A = this chain, B = another copy of it.
Amino acid sequence: MSDERYRQSRALLERAERVVPGGIYGHQNPQFLTRGEYPAFLAEGRGCRVRDVDGNEYIDFICAYGPIVLGYRHPKVEEAADRQRKHADTMNLPGERFVELAERLVALTPGADWALFAKNGSDVCTWALAIARAATHRDVVAMVDGAYHGIHGWCNHLETGFPPSDRAGVRTFTWGDLASLERIFTEERNRIAAVIVTPFRHEAFHDSVMPPPGFLHGVREICDREGAMLVADDVRAGFRLHVGGSTQLWGVTPDLLCYSKAIANGYPLSALLGADALRDAARSVFVTGTFFTQSVPFAASLATLDEIVASGAIERMEAMGKRFCDGLVERAGKCGFDVTISGPPAMPFMTFVSDEGSFDRNRAFAGACARRGVFLHPVHNWFLSAAHREADIDEALEVAAAAFAEVQSRFPA
């Protein structure tokens, strides 16, 4: 971490390393960012800008890894949350917002007749499979090889600490390859309860991959033919591509739909939506948590969903993302770089063709951007918010141009 710019971040990280294993764990672990070039702690967020603990400002393209869909501290969301918290939040019983949000989500979402709420994406992905198992009386589930569905034992990427029995009955197939899914169904005849997929492939350390033509439809058809449930893990992409669930972009309706992240613009909430045919199964699975019916995140979510619809947030994010990506390609080209833009414009990612999967230039580029006040990520997809305006995008592109030049000087052809 450069000495002056990140003095407070460095001091806090040293303190954190004494009282937290690894200092900062999980997806925010500094190891994933460019060493020395990023802050380790943030202090402030407003609109599309964040400020670190040393007072450095950034145009932010991470959005807290997804939740901040309308911009930090969006006035309408904060007002709704403030109004609710004066009365009740965590209580013995739910409040009215619990019902209102379930009704709203059901109204917004093709094929959804009910909702359950939790706090983590991991929770609702696991519940979706549990409900599918209960409904089908089958135990096996199918997921895409390498896909990220959270940290529970059945899908934890590192596996350390989770016994192999946690992954018993989890079969993997290849993204975009229907034949590989058919093979599992043949091998596990009448034993597969569910297929879980993200709407597009977006795991870290990879270019994103949109579904090949017919892929999601094909998964849907195989599930229907085989009596398995289709689970859409829309935790990361939800409410950035389509307000009715991201797979609607491809005309596909899942049986179970997992939301979290952007659902309440930063307030902690996740939701599982399901079809009527799965209502009894959902009732039969015991799920609960101390904070699951907290009213303030429900109020924030209602305001967030209202604003997404009313303001055309999804169209704006797409337009601004496209402007950003087009600008990056152009500025990269001026420095002689071929870059790959992947993912939908509202959740783009960029890699250098000449990196050949190493991320070396990407780390240099993202680090050079961070030092200049633009918060990107070297190995994880980015996020637009509805608070990004043309001027923010253009300012970020000026920074990107300087960063490309710096990468060029460090990685001469």
Interface residues of A (CB under 8 A from B): 12, 15-16, 18-22, 24-28, 39-45, 50, 52-53, 60, 62-68, 72, 78, 85, 87-96, 98-99, 102-103, 106, 113-116, 118-123, 126-127, 129-131, 133-134, 139, 151-153, 156-158, 160-163, 165-166, 168-169, 235, 260-261, 266-268, 274, 279-294, 375
Contacts and interface: CB of A to CB of B under 8 A. Distances in A.
A162 B129 CA distance: 9
A43 B88 contact: yes
A232 B225 CA distance: 47
A14 to B, nearest CB: 10
A64 B139 CA distance: 35
A289 B121 contact: yes
19 contacts: A19-B99, A21-B280, A41-B99, A45-B88, A45-B89, A64-B290, A68-B90, A72-B88, A89-B267, A119-B291, A126-B152, A127-B161, A133-B161, A158-B285, A160-B286, A165-B169, A260-B290, A266-B294, A268-B294
B162 A165 contact: no
Contact of A286 (B78, B106, B157, B287): B157
Given A44-B88, A93-B39, A66 B290 contact: yes
A180 to B, nearest CB: 23
Residue of A44, A151, A294 with most partner-chain B CB within 10 A: A151
Nearest to A292: B26
Assembly stoichiometry (copies): 2
B60 A92 contact: yes
Question: What are the 3 tightest A-B residue pairs by CB atom distance, in nearest-first order?
Answer: A26-B288, A130-B161, A21-B282
B92 A65 contact: yes
B163 A102 contact: no
B90 A283 contact: no
Contacts of A106: 19
Contacts of A131: 161
Contacts of A72: 88, 91
B122 A289 contact: yes
Given A16-B98, A21-B280, 20 more contacts: A20-B99, A20-B115, A21-B274, A21-B282, A24-B293, A25-B283, A26-B286, A41-B99, A42-B91, A43-B88, A50-B88, A89-B266, A120-B123, A120-B289, A130-B153, A130-B160, A133-B161, A139-B163, A152-B152, A163-B169
Contacts of A162: 130, 133
A165 B154 CA distance: 10
Contacts of A90: 64, 67-68, 266-268
A65 B94 CA distance: 12
A134 B78 CA distance: 42
A99 B161 contact: no
A21 B130 CA distance: 14
Contacts of A121: 289-290
Contacts of A127: 161
A91 B63 CA distance: 7
A57 to B, nearest CB: 13
Contact of A67 (B22, B68, B98, B290): B290
A15 B151 contact: no
B266 A133 contact: no
Contact of A28 (B18, B94, B126, B266): B94
Contact of A45 (B91, B280, B291): B91
Contact of A287 (B26, B45, B130, B283): B26
B102 A16 contact: yes
A157 B287 CA distance: 10
Contacts of A65: 92, 290
A106 B22 CA distance: 15
A28 to B, nearest CB: 5
A74 B52 CA distance: 30
